[in-house]
Amino acid sequence: MYRERASRLRGAVVWVNTPDEGGVGRVLPDGCMDLLWNEGRLLVAGPDTRAHVPEGAVGAWAGLRFAPGAAPAFLGLPAYELLDRRVELAELWPASDVRRLRDRVARAADPGRALEEIALDGAAPADPLLGRLVEALDAGRPVAAVADELGISVRQLHRRSRTAFGYGPKTLARVLRLQRALALARAGVPLAETAVRAGYADQPHLSREVRELAGVALSGLAR
């Protein structure tokens, strides 16, 4: 069973997932990165361009999902280095530091809260441009128009987007649109109306995009 709550870290979410016989489930692209705890391991989930389906995962998972674009400042490396990857935190940070943090989470009654506290301890000031970028793309505005609004060139926007999110603004816009469509479908909005309200050209466009990013039909995800 999956549960989540808002974190004390701005824009972040603390979550836990105890899988059933079917596994931990399909993880969809969302523009975010996660700090993970599973079976005594600390890991980092990089940004996804396609749905991630864990293989052979066992036991309960806990995670801290950073706000879009926030994790690279905490980790100390650009998001594109972790694109479509799950890596042990020890591959990114000194082993002694990771052992100390791993022991800290292992001793905690609530691993999710422990991850949250680790992130709060190492949180860096948020770049205000990133929030404005996400808001503008999520509203469906074109990339060139967003660059003008932010006062930077399209090339600069692409570079900063890759560093913060792992991919360029066009891919980020597709990911955010997928999340909008999923929220509408889960709320019971008919697919044709979902396509229009989420910003797709039509329902076939919606279907193609969802299958490409999620690997399954939207109706299946909504259930």
Q: Which of 142, 60, 149, 74 is nearest to 105 (CA)?
A: 60
Report, as an integer, the average pLDDT of 175-180: 96
Q: What is the pLDDT of residue 1?
A: 83
Q: How many other C-beta atoms lie within 10 A of the C-beta of residue 97?
A: 11
The pTM for the full model equals: 0.91
Q: Which two tokens stand for residue 92?
A: 């990114």
| Secondary structure (DSSP) of 191-214 | HHHHHHHHT-SSHHHHHHHHHHHH
- Cα-flanking dihedrals φ and ψ of residue 207, to 5°? -65, -45
Domains of the chain: 2-121 (no CATH), 128-222 (1.10.10.60)
pLDDT 10s digits, 98-130: 999 999 999 999 999 999 999 999 988 878 899
pLDDT 10s digits, 183-219: 999 999 999 999 999 999 999 999 999 999 999 888 8
pLDDT exceeds 90 at position 26: no
Contact by Cβ (8 Å): 181, 195: yes
Contact by Cβ (8 Å): 82, 166: yes
